Amino acid sequence: MKRKLTPREWLDDLLEYERTHPIAFASPGALREARLIAELEKARRSLRRARRNGAPHRRQAAVG
């Protein structure tokens, strides 16, 4: 049977969990902001990779 934790052990466990699982303790506003930033990064990444002149992607020749 598990022994009862002291208040100090309980707080240490709680703080350790909070440190290792930050998403569980984030505010809804912070989560919304993180989603927005991720979407903006995704959109910016795809623009950088776009072929601007409309030329098809060239494939590398297969080594045979």
In angstroms, what CA-CA distances link 2 with 5, 6, 37? 9, 12, 44
Q: Give pTM, 2 decimals.
A: 0.40
d(CA 50, CA 48) in angstroms, rounded, equals 6
pLDDT, tens only, 14-52: 999 988 987 777 888 988 998 999 899 888 776 555 556
pLDDT, tens only, 5-15: 999 999 999 99
Query: Is the per-residue pLDDT at 54 higher than 70?
Result: no
Phi-psi region of 27 (alpha: psi -120 to 50; beta: other; left: phi over 0): beta
- Exposure of 26 in the CB half-sphere (CA atoms within 13 A): 12
| pLDDT in the model for residue 31 | 85
| pLDDT in the model for residue 7 | 92
- Exposure of 6 in the CB half-sphere (CA atoms within 13 A): 3
